[in-house]
Structure 1
Amino acid sequence: MTLLPRHDRRYLEGRGITVREVVEGAEKGVILTEITLPEGKYQVTQADILILLPPSYPEVAPDMFYAVPHLKLIVGQREPRCTEARHAFDGQIWQRWSRHNNDWRPGADGIWTMLKRVEEALKVAA
């Protein structure tokens, strides 16, 4: 089963990111495994990141992303803002990071755009 276009897969391989593609009911997602988190920011150093792909991907942007384990900021020992919701997928309960994308450029953007958004959100979370 292949959910990602070839250029997305090549990008992730080039970054050394292991990806699992999962279909569960009507949802299609990619799980990026053991993503390194910003140093000293969270209670763990790595997390798996789920990106649910809309049916028209890559013409339509993925919206939010999800993390396992549920991330807590070291400072304040609390979850970052807008991460309270949960989502069941692939036998796990994921922490939803409500970060919306209104700047997607069909034909130009891909998984690299979403990964940069994820990395930035993890870096600036408060």
Structure 2
Amino acid sequence: MSFLPAPDREYLESKSVIFEEVQDGWQKAIILKSVPLPSGRFDALAADILIILPPAYPDVAPDMFHLMPWVRLIPAGKYPNAADQPVIFKGQNWQRWSRHNSEWRPGIDGIWTMFKRVEDALARAA
């Protein structure tokens, strides 16, 4: 089953990102597999990243992203701000990172935009 637009798949493949398209009930999502995390910031070296796609994607932005395993900041040992709530997807308890996007540009933005937002959020986590 492939529902991700071709430009999104091509982008992820060009960046050598391993991903899986998944569905849980009516929700469609992608899971970016074993994404390296910023060095020395978290208590894990890599995580799977879940991005739930809204029904009108790519005209509507994905809202938040989710990590597995849950990560804490080092050396503080605490969850990053607004990243301490669970989301159940396909029977797994994901760490929700509440990061919202009000600047999505339909027809211009795609998974590359969301990927960059995830990278920025992980780099700036406090």
Fold match (TM-score > 0.5): yes
The equivalent of 1:116 in structure 2 is 116
* 1:52 maps onto 2:52 in alignment: yes
The equivalent of 2:104 in structure 1 is 104
Query: Could you tell me how far 1:68 is from its partner in structure 2?
Result: 0.3
Misfit runs of 4+, over 2 Å:
none
The equivalent of 1:19 in structure 2 is 19
The equivalent of 1:6 in structure 2 is 6
The amino acid across from 1:27 in the alignment is Q
The amino acid across from 2:120 in the alignment is E
C-alpha separation in 2, matches of 1:25 and 1:4: 17
* 1:65 maps onto 2:51 in alignment: no
Query: Could you tell me how far 1:92 is from its partner in structure 2?
Result: 1.3
C-alpha separation in 1, matches of 2:61 and 2:35: 21
Query: Could you tell me how far 1:2 is from its partner in structure 2?
Result: 1.0
Give the TM-score taking structure 1 as reference length: 0.98
C-alpha separation in 2, matches of 1:70 and 1:76: 15
Gaps of 5+ in 2: none
Gaps of 5+ in 1: none
Give the TM-score taking structure 2 as reference length: 0.98
Question: What secondary structure is seen at the aligned counterpart in 1 of 2:20?
Answer: strand
C-alpha separation in 2, matches of 1:27 and 1:86: 16
Question: What secondary structure is seen at the aligned counterpart in 2 of 1:13?
Answer: helix
Query: Could you tell me how far 1:84 is from its partner in structure 2?
Result: 1.4
Give the length in aligned residue pairs.
126
C-alpha separation in 2, matches of 1:105 and 1:111: 12
C-alpha separation in 2, matches of 1:71 and 1:29: 21
What's the RMSD between the two structures over aligned residues?
A: 0.6
C-alpha separation in 2, matches of 1:9 and 1:71: 27
The amino acid across from 1:46 in the alignment is A
